Chain A
Amino acid sequence: GAVVSQHPSWVICKSGTSVKIECRSLDFQATTMFWYRQFPKQSLMLMATSNEGSKATYEQGVEKDKFLINHASLTLSTLTVTSAHPEDSSFYICAKPEAGRNEQFFGPGTRLTVL
């Protein structure tokens, strides 16, 4: 069964509003979560790494003040898109790493549409 869930699965919002996306580990604790973004007809790109109890690390070109990440518990990481604009419309997917096999388990994704 699924080991990572995301909520909501899709969201439509007006430009300028903020949207929060939740990513939950359903089986074991996750001290690290990865957040990816996928624009239409493009591949997944790593945005940031969420670390429980400490600051997230962001990939080059990703604005940390715009994409706020909170990893307040061992099973929940959240991504908040602040002051969303139409160009932020994308598919956001989180993933939980499993060290034993060097593998990541992906959530079902959240489709964000900013009008």
Chain B
Amino acid sequence: KQEVTQIPAALSVPEGENLVLNCSFTDSAIYNLQWFRQDPGKGLTSLLLIQSSQREQTSGRLNASLDKSSGRSTLYIAASQPGDSATYLCAALNAGGTSYGKLTFGQGTILTVHP
């Protein structure tokens, strides 16, 4: 059974800092790993998806890396802004359930960027 853990649970930083969010998973036989953003009371916004054959993905100020063998992924946010404040979730997709696989989420990291 896949287990996904995110560290830290919460993070508060001043505007402009570069920061790293960590995600670890126990079953390395993943199809892909995805990072989401969730604003309070809202649904999920997909940020980056890294296929199992990839090492990293980049979108603007965001960079996500994947090390399957060690069961880790990191989300790097450059030059953080107050608008980045949200909960960040990582999720690992493994085989199981349907032919579409099964997605297992971490508990999330609550990020606060203060001006």
State the A residues within 8 Å of B (CB). Answer: 32, 34, 42-46, 49, 57, 91, 93, 95, 97, 99, 101-109, 111
Q: A57-B98, A104-B103 known; 13 other A-B pairs, CB under 8 Å?
A: A32-B100, A34-B103, A46-B103, A95-B103, A103-B32, A103-B34, A103-B46, A106-B44, A108-B42, A108-B43, A109-B42, A109-B43, A111-B41
Looking at the assembled complex, report how far the CB atom of A62 sits from the nearest CB atom of chain B, in whole angstroms: 13
**A42, B97: Cα distance in complex, Å:** 22
| B interface residue numbers (CB < 8 A to A) | 31-32, 34, 36, 41-44, 46, 49, 51, 89, 91, 93, 97-103, 105-108
Q: Does A44 lie within 8 Å of B100, measured CB to CB?
A: no
Taking CB atoms, residues of chain B closer than 8 Å to A99 are 99-100
Cα A99 to Cα B102 in complex, Å, equals 12
List the B residue with the shortest CB-CB distance to A59. B97
- A103 and B36 CA atoms in complex are apart in Å by 12
